[in-house]
Chain A
Amino acid sequence: MLARREIASLRAEKTIVLALLIQLFVAAFSSFLVVGLVSLYDPGSVEGYTVDIGVVGDESSVADLRAAVEETRGLDTRTYDDAAPARAAFDRNELDAVVRAEQTGSRTTVTALVPDSDVRTTLVVVQLRDALRAYERAERAERSEHLSAEPLALPPEGRSSPYYGFTYTVLLPLLLFLPVFIGGSIVVDSVTEERERGTLELLRAAPLSTADIVDGKTLAAAGLAPVQAALWVGLLELNGTSVANLPLVLVLVAALSAVVVTLGAALALVAAERRVAQLSYSLGTLVLFGGTTLHEDGPVGLAARLALGSVGPGATLVVAGYAVAAVVGYAVLRRAVSRVDLG
């Protein structure tokens, strides 16, 4: 009954709508960042765009360099006899970069000019780097008898989306655990508010035990996170990102939500005022999520691997461990609350 009242009060303040909007904004914002950044330097994201490179220098170096450049996708070369016309073409926007290759002693010195302050500069530099790496590999192979260890042959190049890893390791955990964090924050606010306004006394005058009150408040907040997580996963599915092991992912979110909400409720009951409660709650969850990322089975990494389907049967045990920890933590809080008299 109290849980229902809590949810109703959330609805009344339209805060839950705001919360969803914030999450959407954060997700859109981080995706925008990544998509925007990747489009700055990923050649694959700019279809049909080739980087034109003017090449000058001594004959053998130029020939080797051109051979290496042709291996690289999205690059075109033009050879010039002299630096001046190449530079002029560069200034006329006909070339994206000018490269001069010269033999100096036992090495090749490459001087590359790229445009400054241009949105495409990053893309040009990345393409040029790939070409020069190929060139370096070829030159190195020629000198292999002077090397004590042979470099490993590179695996074939695949066309992969640069967003793939990001979606599962950053975006998805963000969407799954932001509601968890917000849920805990709601409990802190809700409990401290009752204490500060003195309405906790009123609630206790009703036929409710303190444990009932804590039950109601935590239930309402903890239940919201898995629902929101399911909603985000649904949106991701619509967007073409499939999430494997969905039941386990949701159990993980629910368990963490319970842990975090328990933490929030405990802090709000212990702390003298909201300032202290919120501050220690934020720091606590930061440690919880930041710290556990160090650990192999931390929730962020685990959620990413579960969603990707890169887990063995052992993962079920780990998720079960989280669930047990959540239940035990809550039971401890409930026992402590029923003994302590709240002021």
Chain B
Amino acid sequence: MSRRDRVARTLQIARWEVSRSADTLDRTTVVVFLVALLAAGTVVATGAVGDGVAPDRDIYRVGVAPDSAYRAPVEDATPLRPVAADPGLVASGRAEVVVADGEVAVADSAKGRAALAAFRSAVREHNLALMGAEANRSAAFPVAVDLRYVSRDAGALAGTGAGSGTTTGGDETDESDGAADEGGDEGDEGGGALAVPDLGAGTAGLFGGSTSGGSPAEISPPFPFASLVLAFAFLVPMNFVVQAYGSTMLEERIGRRGELLLVSPATPGEIVAGKTLPYLGAMVGLVVAVAALVGGGALSVAAVFPIAITFLGATFATAMFARSFKELTFVTVSVSVFLTAYAFVPAIFTNVTPVALISPLTVVVRDLQGGSVSVAEYLFSTGPAYLVGTSLFVLGVGIYREEDLFTQRSVPLKLLDALAARIAGRRSAATLAVLSIPFVLLAELLALALLFALPREAALPVLFVAVAGVEEVAKSLHVYAGLHEGPLGDDRTTRGALVLGGLAGLGFFVGEKLFVVIQAVGLTAVPLGEATAATAGVLPVGVLLVAPLALHVVTASVSALGAVRGPRGYAVGLAAAVTLHAGYNLAVVTSLG
């Protein structure tokens, strides 16, 4: 079988998939789309009188006389609705704020206070517009502000931070990436010269950042809100593609439809590749289109691509596991919510901490802000997504065979089957543990991101338990699958469990060390990041390398011993292993700190 044959078969299947989709599309969707367009048109036409999408329209009522100067700001503000200027309305709960006779009456409730705040900012907006129309600029805007972001340790360690650099124009917020932590990139603010006016400010405004010579009203906090919203635009269309893709994969499993392809000379890998190709193409097309729309460059596309792979991989695995469309919908929705959270949460902190780079969306935000990332940073933020996406495809293809495709089992059992299908012998206990590292990383980084907002004292203990739990499951689940669903049935003995546990612990340890090498190239030096790294076994002294190895071997053996005794035994063994692991983590960090 030559490679050309394989490619030809894959492409043939891809063509079938496209033409089949085209067939189902013309018959009904034309009608459906016409109806949807008509509905959208009606809705938009009737709503066009309003002022755009605003879920907070008219939520507070402000009493203000028609001839009052405050009438205009209230009418212009979306959340405010003008009512009669009768102070009695506040008492009877029919208005939150009333302006009458120069007095402002406010309802004594949370709602009243919120309404007052909205009213205040409406008046502020109004004043700004009023002053904007003034002829005398210096009287209307008597204060010019030049806001600059500077590193505190600038100059202290100048020169050592080379290679981390993304400094653009005058938008010095971009320096926050790693520079400060890698030892004081001085940036372009010039070593703390207070008197030198900043002439470089250009890209401020939209993305938040330096303001140069503007009114204080124009200062926007360095929060990349606009970029975040735009980055989200990449994720939304993916959900639609994934929905169609999941359907077509699951349809193969209904009524033995996929049998025709299975008995053809095409291998499962080729079938899956062929059926996936059109959807991957659609994803890339959408991503490029969104990038063109929101002004992202090639970097944005390159950063979103691994997210697309992960979405498709997760959907494919789900379609292989699910018993019905309903189950597919729910698992797919959970997966997309999880992936969206994973991609989105860290990106919020783009300008605050380098650990935000764990999400590929951070790369997109930086690209939209006009920054750049190094190759190491790109690999750090997209590597786990690539590996997870690929591993999910590998797992799913393993059960793309007759005996699994057309049988109905619950999702967890299918997962065990998929794991078992990849187990060839005892050695697999170690290799699968190595391959679990990207998943572990993803799960741990998500936990890290979610715990980011908590105070450090509270976040660390929770983090330790979460990390221990994730790692222990990763080390033992495939061992359990091999023992009960796969070819390792003979090892259901104490001796066998110890061997398998030892191998899994060793494999995990090796994978972890590989990650450490990657991390050393990427980035370090964020307090919480250091803590995870430390618990992950990154200890500064070479002698202590033995300790994490021993830990992984011992805990993996504990859970393997439990796994030999069936589901309940496995749960007990796993709990014991997690406790042991969390205790170890805590001990290491306390002794280091």
Q: Which residue of A lies closest to B46 (CB)?
A: A295
Determine the chain B residues whose CB is within 8 A of the CB of A40 once the complex forms: 223
Whether B134 contacts A115 by the Cβ 8 Å rule is no
Whether A189 contacts B124 by the Cβ 8 Å rule is no
Nearest Cβ on chain B to A172's Cβ, whole angstroms: 10
Nearest Cβ on chain A to B527's Cβ, whole angstroms: 11
Judged by a CB distance under 8 angstroms, whether B453 is at the interface is: yes
Judged by a CB distance under 8 angstroms, whether B540 is at the interface is: no
Which B211-250 residues sit within 8 Å CB-CB of chain A? 213, 215-217, 219, 221-223, 239-240, 243-244, 247-248
Which B39-86 residues sit within 8 Å CB-CB of chain A? 39-40, 43-44, 46-48, 50, 52-61, 69-70, 73, 79, 81
Complex Cα gap A276–B33 (Å):
11
Complex Cα gap A40–B353 (Å):
13
Nearest Cβ on chain B to A290's Cβ, whole angstroms: 7
Whether A276 contacts B25 by the Cβ 8 Å rule is yes
Complex Cα gap A144–B25 (Å):
66
Complex Cα gap A125–B47 (Å):
37
Determine the chain A residues whose CB is within 8 A of the CB of B73 once the complex forms: 152
Determine the chain A residues whose CB is within 8 A of the CB of B194 once the complex forms: 56, 83, 86-87, 98, 100, 111, 113
Nearest Cβ on chain A to B187's Cβ, whole angstroms: 8
Whether B61 contacts A310 by the Cβ 8 Å rule is yes
Complex Cα gap A128–B217 (Å):
11
Whether A26 contacts B337 by the Cβ 8 Å rule is yes
Which A163-204 residues sit within 8 Å CB-CB of chain B? 164-165, 168-170, 173, 182, 185-186, 189-190, 192-193, 196-198
Complex Cα gap A122–B60 (Å):
28
Across the interface, A106 reaches (CB within 8 A) one of B44, B79, B138, B331, namely: B138
Decide: A158 near B138, CB < 8 A? Known: A112-B147, A169-B56: no
Complex Cα gap A126–B220 (Å):
8
Q: How many residues of B contact A (CB 8 A)?
A: 128
Whether A152 contacts B123 by the Cβ 8 Å rule is yes
Which B294-308 residues sit within 8 Å CB-CB of chain A? none
Determine the chain B residues whose CB is within 8 A of the CB of A47 once the complex forms: none
Which B86-145 residues sit within 8 Å CB-CB of chain A? 93, 96-97, 99, 104, 106, 110-114, 116-120, 123-124, 126-127, 130-131, 133-136, 138-145
Judged by a CB distance under 8 angstroms, whether A231 is at the interface is: no
Decide: A15 near B326, CB < 8 A? Known: A116-B175, A198-B255, A295-B50: yes
Decide: A293 near B53, CB < 8 A? Known: A13-B323, A15-B330, A157-B120: yes
Complex Cα gap A296–B57 (Å):
7
Decide: A151 near B130, CB < 8 A? Known: A13-B323, A190-B326: yes
Across the interface, A116 reaches (CB within 8 A) one of B150, B213, B216, B323, namely: B150
Which B170-218 residues sit within 8 Å CB-CB of chain A? 172-173, 175-176, 179-181, 187, 192, 194-195, 197-198, 213, 215-217
Judged by a CB distance under 8 angstroms, whether B348 is at the interface is: yes
Judged by a CB distance under 8 angstroms, whether B523 is at the interface is: no
Judged by a CB distance under 8 angstroms, whether A335 is at the interface is: no
Chain A interface residue bracket vs B: 35 or more
Whether B223 contacts A122 by the Cβ 8 Å rule is yes
Nearest Cβ on chain B to A153's Cβ, whole angstroms: 8
Complex Cα gap A139–B145 (Å):
13
Judged by a CB distance under 8 angstroms, whether A304 is at the interface is: yes
Complex Cα gap A280–B243 (Å):
11
Decide: A156 near B116, CB < 8 A? Known: A139-B143, A189-B324, A272-B24: yes
Whether A152 contacts B70 by the Cβ 8 Å rule is yes
Q: Which of B127, B176, B197, B325 has the most CB of A within 10 A?
A: B325
Complex Cα gap A328–B481 (Å):
53
Judged by a CB distance under 8 angstroms, whether B31 is at the interface is: yes
Decide: A129 near B352, CB < 8 A? Known: A155-B123, A158-B116, A161-B114: no
Judged by a CB distance under 8 angstroms, whether A140 is at the interface is: yes
Whether A276 contacts B32 by the Cβ 8 Å rule is yes
Nearest Cβ on chain B to A152's Cβ, whole angstroms: 5
Determine the chain A residues whose CB is within 8 A of the CB of B175 once the complex forms: 116-117
Determine the chain A residues whose CB is within 8 A of the CB of B328 once the complex forms: 189
Judged by a CB distance under 8 angstroms, whether A330 is at the interface is: no
Whether A121 contacts B59 by the Cβ 8 Å rule is no
Judged by a CB distance under 8 angstroms, whether A207 is at the interface is: no
Judged by a CB distance under 8 angstroms, whether B404 is at the interface is: no
Across the interface, A273 reaches (CB within 8 A) one of B176, B213, B251, B326, namely: B251
Which A98-157 residues sit within 8 Å CB-CB of chain B? 98, 100, 104-119, 121-122, 125-126, 128-129, 132-133, 135-136, 139-140, 142-144, 146-149, 151-152, 154-157
Judged by a CB distance under 8 angstroms, whether B329 is at the interface is: yes
Whether A283 contacts B36 by the Cβ 8 Å rule is yes
Nearest Cβ on chain B to A170's Cβ, whole angstroms: 6
Across the interface, A280 reaches (CB within 8 A) one of B36, B43, B55, namely: B36
Across the interface, A121 reaches (CB within 8 A) one of B213, B219, B352, namely: B352
Determine the chain A residues whose CB is within 8 A of the CB of B135 once the complex forms: 148
Complex Cα gap A119–B116 (Å):
29
Complex Cα gap A295–B450 (Å):
36
Whether B247 contacts A288 by the Cβ 8 Å rule is no
Q: Which residue of A lies closest to B175 (CB)?
A: A116
Whether A164 contacts B324 by the Cβ 8 Å rule is no
Whether B147 contacts A114 by the Cβ 8 Å rule is yes
Complex Cα gap A16–B338 (Å):
18
Whether A116 contacts B139 by the Cβ 8 Å rule is no
Nearest Cβ on chain A to B481's Cβ, whole angstroms: 21
Determine the chain B residues whose CB is within 8 A of the CB of A197 once the complex forms: 254-255
Determine the chain B residues whose CB is within 8 A of the CB of A125 once the complex forms: 147, 219, 221-222
Whether A129 contacts B219 by the Cβ 8 Å rule is yes
Complex Cα gap A35–B120 (Å):
22
Complex Cα gap A305–B55 (Å):
9
Decide: A294 near B50, CB < 8 A? Known: A196-B251, A267-B32: yes
Decide: A284 near B120, CB < 8 A? Known: A29-B341, A129-B219, A276-B29: no
Complex Cα gap A143–B131 (Å):
12
Determine the chain B residues whose CB is within 8 A of the CB of A192 once the complex forms: 325
Complex Cα gap A136–B143 (Å):
6
Determine the chain A residues whose CB is within 8 A of the CB of B104 once the complex forms: 155-156
Whether A139 contacts B149 by the Cβ 8 Å rule is no
Complex Cα gap A152–B123 (Å):
7
Decide: A294 near B453, CB < 8 A? Known: A114-B148, A189-B325, A274-B251: no
Complex Cα gap A83–B99 (Å):
46
Judged by a CB distance under 8 angstroms, whether A279 is at the interface is: yes
Judged by a CB distance under 8 angstroms, whether A308 is at the interface is: yes
Whether B32 contacts A270 by the Cβ 8 Å rule is yes
Whether B326 contacts A284 by the Cβ 8 Å rule is no
Decide: A13 near B450, CB < 8 A? Known: A151-B127, A160-B110, A310-B61: no
Determine the chain A residues whose CB is within 8 A of the CB of B401 once the complex forms: none
Judged by a CB distance under 8 angstroms, whether A300 is at the interface is: yes
Whether A305 contacts B348 by the Cβ 8 Å rule is no
Whether B32 contacts A309 by the Cβ 8 Å rule is no
Nearest Cβ on chain B to A131's Cβ, whole angstroms: 8
Q: Which residue of B lies closest to A280 (CB)?
A: B32
Nearest Cβ on chain A to B387's Cβ, whole angstroms: 24
Whether A117 contacts B351 by the Cβ 8 Å rule is yes
Whether B33 contacts A132 by the Cβ 8 Å rule is no
Across the interface, B219 reaches (CB within 8 A) one of A128, A144, A148, A280, namely: A128
Which A275-305 residues sit within 8 Å CB-CB of chain B? 275-276, 278-280, 282-284, 287-288, 290-296, 298, 300-301, 304-305
Extra contacts besides A21-B334, A32-B345, A140-B140 (12): CB < 8 Å:
A15-B330, A18-B330, A107-B143, A111-B194, A114-B150, A117-B180, A129-B219, A155-B116, A169-B59, A272-B28, A293-B55, A298-B47
By Cβ-Cβ distance, the 10 closest A-B pairs, closest first, are A294-B47, A117-B176, A132-B216, A291-B43, A146-B139, A295-B47, A189-B325, A160-B113, A275-B247, A139-B142
19 pairs of residues in contact across A and B, judged by CB atoms under 8 Å: A9-B326, A26-B337, A32-B453, A91-B152, A91-B153, A91-B192, A106-B142, A110-B143, A117-B353, A118-B152, A118-B352, A121-B149, A129-B219, A146-B136, A173-B55, A189-B324, A278-B329, A280-B33, A301-B54
